[in-house]
Structure 1
Amino acid sequence: MRLISRLVCCVFLLLPVAATAAADDLARRLAASDGWVQWQVPLAPDAGDSCCYEGRGGASGRRGCDLDGRRWSVDDAAATQPGAARELAVYAHVKAGQVDAVRALSASCPVSSTSAITQLDGVDPAASVAWLAARVRRGDGRKGDEGIAAIAFHAAPAAMSVLREFAAVGAPRDRREAALFWLGQTRGADGVEAVERVAHEDADAKIRNHAVFVLSQAQKYDAYPRVLAIAASDRSGEVRSQALFWLAQMKDDRAAADIVAALHRETDAQAREQAVFALTQLPDGQGDKALIDLIRGDYPREVKQKALFWLGQSGSDTALAFLDETLR
């Protein structure tokens, strides 16, 4: 049994070495290429259909991506279709032996380029992650964001480990923020839980703020109570303020009552002010009703003043009718 344990231990120790060697081989293959090079690996199961989209009549339609475009962006606006191919296409642009751009898209996403795209076969997913991670660590690309996004879309377990590393204390803040965002967007429940731990435990209030935003975007994982808990308990008034703002953005029927409850318990003046503003972000006229209730209720004068100010900015029929009645 002891021999088996040692063998298993040795296997796990050799895995990162093998991935690094394979990543070095991938780097050599890329350096020998020119123009756009593409390889495919399994796509993370919780990632959406990554492509370029445009809005039409309130709906997002996939239009395909121009790899050569100067203004280039990608979204996963479309839900994954049952039975659809779950492959990720990674594109690297090589010039004079150096990679100067990376894109990561669903393999089914149509792409265009003025030059031919070279296909690399047999790329190991762990090697792909390791090569991208090394690129991010060197600071290549747009602050590493493109590389971190590409890593996040990989199904390989190594992707989760690298994202945790990039989100950890000690990494540059912009790298941490990008890693947290993609953890929440692509890594399912495990990713959301990792972001939640940072939101509760990190010493950097700006990082906690960002983690709250990421949580607010993960609504299919019941994110509302997670954000509410931070709004009630974070040690920073600024973080509590931002959590209240994102509660209002989450289109949850509980938000109005929970934000008003925060006004009752909140001792920080900035957080109270932000709570009043957060009410203005509620959908379907809920904000105006909540502001009117504040003005009529038993609240501090500064709360009523802010509520009156934001009600005046509304311009809705409800707000104007209340102001007319009040000013008679």
Structure 2
Amino acid sequence: MKPRLFTPISFVRRSAAGFSLIEMLVSLFVASLMMTVMSGFVSTVVATKHNTSLVTEAQQGVRSLLSMITQELRQAGACLTPLGTFISLDGANTATQDSLTLRIGRVNTATTPPTNRCIQPGTTAEANPGSTTLQVPANSGLRAGDQVFITPNNVLGDFYTVQAASGTTVTLAPPLEDYDGLGTSYPVGTGIYPFDERVYAVDASDPDRPVLTAQINGAGPFPLVDGVKLFDVRYGLAPCDPQCATEVAFPLVDDDTNEWFLVREVRIKATVQSHKKNREGEFEEASTGKVGESGEYITIKPRNLL
């Protein structure tokens, strides 16, 4: 029997694998650089998104302002007398923060079915200056709270409020004016024109937060569009072929001239600022157009004035 040969086994202890101190320091340095780059990138993305949202907000403010006013302006003068005193439009010129007043005659929706016809009743009996009541046809469509324009001759007239309407009698405030200074009575057929009124104006009581307000039928103003720092209204006068050659900041009215009757276009320029500042500490702004560009002013043609 042959003797077995055994190979001696030696156990060698090897050191555990790992990073050296220099490798660790380099890794930490690279990681810190990556984190710095990533944090800067994220910060830039957040700032850009924030600024973009403010720009969008300002742009939406301009669009909503123009949309609301355009719809109302196109109806201005409907169902109102085109003669005598001009009542379809009014306003005030204050350079950069104008006001605009427009009036739209009411239609009769009280009948069944609604006729949607202009409410333009004439009186059925004479009335003296100082009186607070008028006689009108039955189902005239007038109602308490209506603002009305009353003209005895389609030349002169005044504004009144209907305090009560019952049957064929309406009660007014204030009392009827002495329209010609001679105490002449208001004849049968005196025109009564009820209307809805809108007054758009900028409330700049807080210079940092100017607000475009709307006032409906003599009620108190309420906020409509926030951040309106510029609301400039101009008027294009006839003749227009097709563009109105003459533009005025406000129509002239004197003893010889009333340019309101020549108004064929209303031009509006508006600038809206965001409600918050951007990352650079400034308000974002949106406007109808830049100075000198064709879109600087948006042109609206009131259909009933053409």
Normalised by the size of structure 2, how large is the TM-score? Answer: 0.22
RCO higher in 1 or 2 (8 Å CA, sep ≥ 6)? 2
Normalised by the size of structure 1, how large is the TM-score? Answer: 0.21
Q: Which has the higher strand share?
A: 2
Tell me which structure has the larger Cα radius of gyration.
Answer: 2
Q: Which has the higher helix share?
A: 1
